[in-house]
């Protein structure tokens, strides 16, 4: 039996949920800070549409790559997809625009879509 600590293994389901919950809570905290007047930035409206790029990448990761990935790579893709969804939301909040609220809502939807309920135990 080989005991290689560098060998990729899938973490327990509780870790998936813990990471998902932490990222979700952190995003809501940042939304709260930006929406209560803690930070005000106004960029050109078209600039805030940069948030669509990480959103599109997050959708690709969740619906194209994640279902087809081998079990050892699913956790990494899960983290990448969540990070892309969250970063798109951060871009929308930081750049501010008339589309700030819909883009932040899109980030929340994408974070929810990454909920670890898709994980199946063997």
Asked whether the beta carbons of 80 and 88 are under 8 A apart, the reply is no
DSSP conformation class of 5: T
pLDDT in tens, the chain (122 residues): 455 555 557 788 888 889 999 999 999 998 888 776 655 566 676 777 788 999 999 999 999 999 888 888 889 999 999 999 999 988 888 877 677 888 889 999 999 998 887 666 53
Residues 108, 121: Cα–Cα separation, whole Å: 26
The pLDDT, as a whole number, for residue 42 is 64
**Phi, psi (rounded to 5 degrees) for 114:** -85, 10
This prediction has a pTM of 0.79
* Strands, E assignment, the chain: none
């Amino acid at each position: 039996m080989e005991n290689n600590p560098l060998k990729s293994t899938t973490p327990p389901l509780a870790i998936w949920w813990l990471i998902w919950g932490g990222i979700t809570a952190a995003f809501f905290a940042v939304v709260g800070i930006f929406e209560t007047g803690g930070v005000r930035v106004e960029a050109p409206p078209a600039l805030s549409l940069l948030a669509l790029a990480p959103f599109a990448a997050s959708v690709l990761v969740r619906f194209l790559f994640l279902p087809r990935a081998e079990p050892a790579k699913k956790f990494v893709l899960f983290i990448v997809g969540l990070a892309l969804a969250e970063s798109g939301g951060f871009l929308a909040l930081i750049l501010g625009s008339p589309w700030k609220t819909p883009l932040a809502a899109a980030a929340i939807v994408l974070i929810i879509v990454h909920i670890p309920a898709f994980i199946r135990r063997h």
